Structure 1
């Protein structure tokens, strides 16, 4: 496919509409079709490609998302970097619903997902030491400060299989391990981007406290309705931040 876009954006739960749909591309890849059509539009002097990772109708639960096709489609379009907002849960009292976390590491607790392009005969062993691009993270941190958005400048996200949420015991374990954020889609999305040599950043919008926090009876276990409610309430803030980051990116 010929060049179509400079920057890719993946949408998460409650974040299916991002750009004026100037052009929609129905594409195919060696790994099948992506989650949905890709919307292409201009922001300033940059072409941006937006893809809802769950599909516009939320037809793909986290464990069935065609991650390899989604990332490869972005590569085919020519994107130079990817911004990936996600609805996420907090595992720490000071990380509150409505906050943003600019993640710098992850822990994989998924299974059975197609998580690599190197299945032979070509084989590579990439480093997982820096899964998120440091330069993009810096731009996101700057953008949050400039927009007066409450953000945590680092955090480890534990990625669970889904589609169910954690048990109380699991959530307690994750917290005691020192992890900060919980999500269902960051793996293998971020590592596939690294295999394709596409700089990638996750912006986690905190929607809930997972299965509640130990010792605080007022904090109730998460529900799907609560996740979507908080994400939708902050949708404009997410969009504003992404637009600001895009303007700061120099390709």
Structure 2
């Protein structure tokens, strides 16, 4: 079994997680510029790699984040498991601001982003029926319980393009679909993590009720920032506990996240594009380099 390396992708308001031997490192990616350097260190002896999704200082909008480069550099640093911390709005009364939600499904409504590492010259189709690793979700839930952080397990995350928030009509539509929360960043992040054979788990941190709630009105950025500060403190406690209690040997994913490419690549070896294969060295090297 592989040694565990925990990757943390921090969303809005989550940038400074305490680690031992922490240092910022530049990791080059053939997929372009990632959001930032990665911050590497240890928590309780476990290797941890932190990546600020929007870059330090929140430089990138949800649309302009280079999701492929971000996932690629996490893979290059040896990450085995990715926990995505993501600010979101709530569609459910019981998912109040300040609550963390362990998402298990997504609806992808983004339209202006590169969503796959594969394409012409090397075609692959991975399964996304269960986009969240239940094994990793179990570990996240245990950490939330120990730290007494209010949370809920289970829910569907509607990923919108942004950067604007929803209209009232859109908010009501997404509620009618049975969505639990709404955000702008976890797609194509989750899809790319699956293509890179990384176990992936979303911890959605509720900041507001979107625009549907009759007593809260439209999304107010000032109120969101206040909630973000409280969520950030809980996020730091959560990550520290998760890392301290995390298995030192990478736990195999029950839905096959870590073997997603076993039968996914369709292009015959003699038809594969060498230039694309070179870019796929980290993401798909496990299967591309095995004997045919």
Question: TM-score w.r.t. structure 1 length?
Answer: 0.94
Q: Which residue of 1 aligns with 2:48?
A: 48
3-state SS of 1:63 partner: coil
Q: Work out whether 1:16 is the aligned partner of 2:33.
A: no
3-state SS of 1:234 partner: helix
1:152-231 equivalent positions in 2, closer than 5 A: 152-213=152-213, 216=214, 218-231=215-228
Once structures 1 and 2 are overlaid, which stretch shifts more, 7-16 or 71-80?
Answer: 7-16
Measure how far apart 1:54 and its partner are. 0.3
Q: Distance in 2 between matches of 1:226 and 1:30?
A: 39
After superposition, the C-alpha distances for 1:2-35 in whole angstroms (9 at most, x for unaligned) are xxx8111111111122235721111210101210
Q: Which residue of 2 aligns with 1:95?
A: 95
Q: Distance in 1 between matches of 2:96 and 2:226?
A: 15
Q: Distance in 2 between matches of 1:235 and 1:60?
A: 19
- Contact (CA 8 Å) 2:171, 2:210: kept in 1 or not? yes
Q: Distance in 2 between matches of 1:32 and 1:226?
A: 35
Q: Distance in 2 between matches of 1:65 and 1:19?
A: 24
- Contact (CA 8 Å) 1:86, 1:205: kept in 2 or not? yes
Measure how far apart 1:207 and its partner are. 0.4
After superposition, the C-alpha distances for 1:125-182 in whole angstroms (9 at most, x for unaligned) are 1111010111011111222222222111101000000100000000000011111010
Deviation above 4 Å: which 4+ runs of structure 1? Answer: none
Q: Distance in 2 between matches of 1:46 and 1:27?
A: 20
Q: Distance in 1 between matches of 2:45 and 2:207?
A: 33
After superposition, the C-alpha distances for 1:218-237 in whole angstroms (9 at most, x for unaligned) are 21211223222201122111
- Contact (CA 8 Å) 1:101, 1:151: kept in 2 or not? yes
Q: Distance in 1 between matches of 2:183 and 2:42?
A: 30
* Root-mean-square deviation over aligned CA pairs: 1.7
1:37-186 equivalent positions in 2, closer than 5 A: 37-186=37-186
Measure how far apart 1:46 and its partner are. 1.0
Q: Distance in 2 between matches of 1:143 and 1:47?
A: 17
3-state SS of 1:106 partner: strand
Q: Distance in 2 between matches of 1:189 and 1:225?
A: 27
Once structures 1 and 2 are overlaid, which stretch shifts more, 233-242 or 222-231?
Answer: 222-231
Measure how far apart 1:71 and its partner are. 0.3
Measure how far apart 1:64 and its partner are. 0.5
Q: Distance in 1 between matches of 2:79 and 2:233?
A: 24
Q: Which residue of 1 aligns with 2:26?
A: 26
1:1-12 equivalent positions in 2, closer than 5 A: 6-12=5-11
Measure how far apart 1:187 and its partner are. 0.1
Once structures 1 and 2 are overlaid, which stretch shifts more, 139-148 or 232-241?
Answer: 139-148
After superposition, the C-alpha distances for 1:111-132 in whole angstroms (9 at most, x for unaligned) are 0201100113111111110101
Q: Distance in 2 between matches of 1:71 and 1:113?
A: 14
Q: What are structure 1's unaligned runs of at least 5 residues?
A: none
- Contact (CA 8 Å) 1:102, 1:204: kept in 2 or not? yes
Q: What are structure 2's unaligned runs of at least 5 residues?
A: 250-292
Q: Distance in 2 between matches of 1:8 and 1:237?
A: 18
